[in-house]
Amino acid sequence: MNVYLRVSAVILSYLATSGSSVADNYMVRALAFSHECHVQSEDVEIDLIDLAGPFSSRATACKAAADLHDSDGQDQRKCWRYGVITRRNCEGDGVTLPAAK
């Protein structure tokens, strides 16, 4: 397995475990190059762009993430798509995130 795949696997594993933990505050954050958004605990230390938060519950952060959707994929301050784990967690909280074009 090359280094890129190993690093990606570690990041995805970390996002998966951090998304399911109980936290005091949640943030909506995006990857700089793709604007794929993630709802995660405020204390997660991964280098993403903070778009909104902190929120007192994951469900509230999920609603904010849905409101930040940019269907045209042009606005750098919005979400163009959502991470798989974020989608799953938000669905579990009763929030359906918009689909990417």
In a domain, 17, yes or no: yes
**Looking at the 3D structure of the chain, how many domains does it have?**
1
Task: pLDDT band for 23, please (50, 70, 90 cuts).
Answer: low
- Let me know the angle formed at the C-alpha of 81 by 79 and 87, rounded to the nearest 5 degrees: 105
Residue in the block written with tokens 């958004």: 37
In a domain, 31, yes or no: yes
In a domain, 53, yes or no: yes
Longest dimension (CA), the chain: 39
> Which residues form the domain of 69?
3-92
Residues in the chain: 101
Q: Please tell me whether the overall predicted TM-score, pTM, comes out greater than 0.85 for this model.
A: no
Examine the pLDDT at 22 and tell me if it is beyond 60.
Answer: no
Separation of alpha carbons 39 and 30, rounded Å? 9
Examine the pLDDT at 46 and tell me if it is beyond 60.
Answer: yes
pLDDT digits (tens, 9 = 90+) for 54-80: 999 999 999 999 999 998 889 999 999
Tell me the pLDDT of the chain averaged across its residues: 83
Task: Count each helix (H run) and each strand (E run) in the chain, helices first.
Answer: 3, 4
